[in-house]
Amino acid sequence: MAIFVNEHTKVIVQGLTGGQGKYHGLRNKAYGTQVVGGVTPGKGGTDVEGVPVFNTVAEAVAATGATASFIAVPPKAASAAILEAAAAGIGFIVCITEGIPAQDEARTYNTLVRDYPNTRLLGPNCPGIISPGKCNIGITAGEIAEVPTASGPNVGIVSRSGTLTYQALYELKQRGIGVSTCVGIGGDPVPGTNFIDCLKEFQADPETHAIIMIGEIGGSAEEEAAEFIKANVTKPMSAYIAGVTAPEGKKMGHAGAITSGGKGTAKGKMEALAAAGVKVGNNPTEAGDLMAEIVAALKG
């Protein structure tokens, strides 16, 4: 199993001929992901190390049967690229682009909801998704993700921060704990996929036995996730929230990471999650230790 993507997922890369698209697209392919094509307007008919390039997503889908897209284009072009993929029938879009204007993001998200309800957007400004041993879309270094075992227990990871996603993968790898799927939802104000979307999938996925959630300051996504967990998630969880020491009112790099008027603080989020029965660590390593305890208990 795994959630959202697996060994059958066929991926195209929008921006395959660009620096980031080429580097990571080919890395994803080398990992074993079915990277079946690329899209760059005006470069159709060429190829990037054997991967065929098309002018439009529609052409790429018709020729390859792609079901997912990896978008690695500059901020100015990202919204149009997302909508083009959705219009071409792509069901799962991963957009790693950082720096998209919030107004564009809000319009694009609401357009997807209205006109393309069967398309899921992951990101923007996210590291992507990896179902270890099956499919890696995005910028995650595949070798730091432990492949899940048939017998389990395996852990699902959902994170708002890119580098902390790797950190979480790394913590589990160090302990030899398998990962079913690791989803980086991104740190922007309007993420296409949120914590609850992922928690719902992990709860339903038979290959996932426990869940790590990595949040950060700003907004109320973690608090809403805590409410959802309380009512719907029976699998054991650990969590970490970044930004305990963040000064109020300053954007901590991510457009979404800002506390104001005592709201969106790490402390409030940690308390909400703890109240929902989640074991909350004070740093990524502690969250990993807590997960190791959970996994040991599951093994009985």
Partner 1 sequence: MDLFEYQGKQYFARYDIPVSPGDVAYTVDEAVAAAEMAGYPVVVKAQVQVGGRGKAGGIKLADNADEVRLHAGNILGMDIKGHLVKRVWVEHASDIKKEYYASYTLDRAAKKHLLMLSAEGGVEIEAVAATNPDAIVMLHIDPVDGISLAAARDAAVRAKIDDEAVDGVADMLVKLYRCFTEGDCDLAEINPLILRPDGGVHALDAKVSLDNNAAFRHPEWDEFRATEELDEREQLARTHDLQYIGLDGTVGIIANGAGLAMSTLDVVNQVGGSAANFLDIGGGANADMMAAALGVINFDENVKSIFINIFGGITRGEEVAKGIVEALGRVELRAPIVIRLDGTNAEEGRAILANAGIPESKLISKPTMLEAARAAVAIAQGA
Residues with a known catalytic role: 254
Pairing of strands 68-71, 92-95: parallel
User: Is 217 a binder of partner 1 (CB under 8 A)?
Assistant: yes
Question: And the tokens for 45?
Answer: 């008919």
Q: Which is nearer to partner 1, 190 or 294 (CB)?
A: 190
CB of residue 298 to partner 1, shortest distance in Å? 25
Which residue type does 183 have?
Answer: V
Is residue 16 within 8 A of residue 53, CB to CB? The reply is: yes
Q: Which of the residues 172 through 191 are near partner 1 (CB under 8 A)?
A: 187, 189-190
Closest by CA position to 128, among listed 111, 113, 142: 142
Closest by CA position to 57, among listed 85, 37, 77: 85
Please list, in sequence order, all residues whose beta carbon lies within 8 angstroms of the beta carbon of residue 103, skipping any fewer than 6 positions away.
none
Which residue among 2, 5, 94, 164 contacts partner 1 (CB under 8 A)?
Answer: 164
Question: And the tokens for 265?
Answer: 């603080």
Closest by CA position to 25, among listed 17, 256, 261, 244: 17
CB of residue 51 to partner 1, shortest distance in Å? 20
Site string for partner 1, 100-119 (x = CB under 8 A): xxxxx-xx-xxx--x-----
Which residue among 44, 56, 285, 298 contacts partner 1 (CB under 8 A)?
Answer: 285
User: Is 15 a binder of partner 1 (CB under 8 A)?
Assistant: no
Closest by CA position to 12, among listed 47, 42, 1: 47
User: Is 254 a binder of partner 1 (CB under 8 A)?
Assistant: yes
Q: Name the residues that contact partner 1, by CB under 8 A.
A: 20, 24, 75-76, 96, 98-104, 106-107, 109-111, 114, 127, 139-141, 144, 159-164, 166-167, 170, 187, 189-190, 214, 216-217, 219-221, 224, 240, 242-247, 250, 252-257, 261, 266, 282-285
